[in-house]
Chains A and B, each alone.
Chain A
Amino acid sequence: MNSSTLIGGHKAGLNTTMRTDKWWIGPLLSLSILTGFLIYATWALIQGDHYWVADTGQGFGGYLSPFFSPVLLVDPSVPGAVPESHAWFGTFPSWWPSFIPASPAVLILMFPAMFRFTCYYYRKTYYRAFTGTPPGCSVGALPQKNYRGETRFLLVQNLHRYALYFAIIFVVILSYDAVQAFFRDGKFGVGVGSIILTLNAIFLACYTFGCHSFRHLIGGSTNKFSCSAARYTAWKGCTKLNEKHMNWAWTSLFWVAGSDVYVRLVSSGVITDYNTWG
């Protein structure tokens, strides 16, 4: 960290500042939470077990961890896995390479990961917390010979709307899972897990439909709101969510991880799910 004094009494160099408040708390928290989440999600993905709760597994219903939904391929021999009939395309093929965990999460987690990675809000967060560009406002940025911002290789961020299209599909699937969570072997009921998975779908929807790209596509791209009342109303609704995009980003992140933890603990018998099925 080089720090020299410039005209005006300012300092130069990474993390240098005249600020007297604890500006580093925000980036440090983001850094810790995001790293913690990445570690947990990777661990859960590699485990590939205990992601499903149901009595007999027959009929409609059960709790499915959002990290593993939709289950495209399954290894039904794993403890806490869905039965083969629940997987969209059956079991993992025999030629599945041994170095890739035969976990349903492997096939899908990259979509939500891409959505969050290219999200305008998370970009701000990790540019501040991980790459120091800048670490905080009026706090010295990482010195670079030729700062390029989002022009060169970060142009990839411009594909965020494609990640959004997938995210919308996931909102539909996770909403379906939330409905399933109110049934067990075809019988309606309510459990703590039903509520957790329902909130998960709601939080994720609030995050997804407050997306900046969605806000643009749904209405922001026009200069003539007066020509379409429907677009204007949709844009205003999205704007309401968008104003709290940061809150939804964190709430949905915590909740999705918490949902996986809950299903995992119930599925592995560590805790009991209070519910009406008895």
Chain B
Amino acid sequence: MSKRTFRIWRGNAEGGDFQTYEQESSEGMVVLDVIHGIQAEQANDMAVRWNCKAGKCGSCSVEINGKPKLACMTRMNMYAEDEVITVQPMKAFPVIKDLVTDVSWNYEQNKRIKPLQPGKPEADGDYRMAQEDIDRNQEFRKCIECYLCQDVCHILRDHGKTDVFVGPRFMHRLADLAMHPLDTRDRVPEIVEEFGSGYCNITRCCTDVCPEHINITDNAIIPLKERVVDRYYDPIAMLGRKLFGGGKSSENTD
């Protein structure tokens, strides 16, 4: 058991400030445990969102000493005994109260993405996929929708470009669909025009913060950018398509 110093931002959309709390922390605790201790013993009205305490529901996203993190997966022993631990709500989303932000913008983005559209099933009415065709997609399915990647992305966080860029979480959802062996939609035009793939400058912060270690930049965004190049910026590929039709297999052909 040792006393640790926490600075937690308390307030709402109108304004607020950091409050300092001294709270006991024992071995094996995570930041969320200490916040719960403060909530139970010192600040009953403090708002913090959480659910699973196992890094799987994506509710407890906050910023700890300036880094976007899951409070339930951030161990206290990462910090020196005498280190002040500062906890803030995510920067990219509007604050509701204290550590809780309104992430509903993300749900709106998700709705804009057209669902998977498979072609005709096989003769027995089933769809079949080869494992090697779906391996890439399975990485993206690990997403717990914590939106830490959205929070850290400077396009949303610093430049506030929520009107033109959908953010890394949905870039990888789009990549999942675009690479899907059964999907028949042509998604390339909307990936550029509606979802703003060109705004990402591949600076990789989304990948750095993802608690599920999804390699968003290398495995989703860059492959999408390359598909966009095939379609719009590669003169030889474009000429090839004009002369021979179809050509590259960026999209599903069946």
Question: Which A residues have a C-beta under 8 Å from some C-beta of B?
Answer: 6-10, 12, 17-21, 120, 123-124, 127-128, 133-134, 137-138, 140-141, 143-144, 147-151, 154-155, 158-161, 212-213, 215-217, 220-226, 232, 242-243
Contacts and interface: CB of A to CB of B under 8 A. Distances in A.
Nearest to B128: A226
Contact of A9 (B16, B218, B222, B249): B16
Interface SS of chain B = mixed
Most buried by B among A9, A21, A134, A150: A9
Interface of B: 9, 11, 13, 15-18, 63, 65-68, 83, 86, 88-91, 94-95, 101, 130, 132-133, 152, 154-155, 157-159, 161, 165, 179-181, 183, 196, 198-205, 208-209, 217-218, 222-223, 225-230, 232-234, 248-252
Nearest to A139: B66
Interface SS of chain A = loop
B152 A138 contact: yes
A124 B198 contact: no
Contacts, number: 160
Contact of A134 (B95, B154, B222, B251): B154
Contacts of B157: 138, 141
A127 B201 contact: yes
Nearest to A212: B222
Contacts of B209: 137
Contacts of B229: 158, 160-161, 213
A9 B199 contact: no
Nearest to B65: A20
Given A134-B203, A149-B201, 18 more contacts: A9-B18, A18-B86, A20-B83, A127-B201, A134-B154, A134-B158, A137-B205, A138-B68, A141-B154, A150-B199, A160-B229, A221-B230, A223-B181, A223-B183, A224-B249, A224-B252, A225-B132, A225-B133
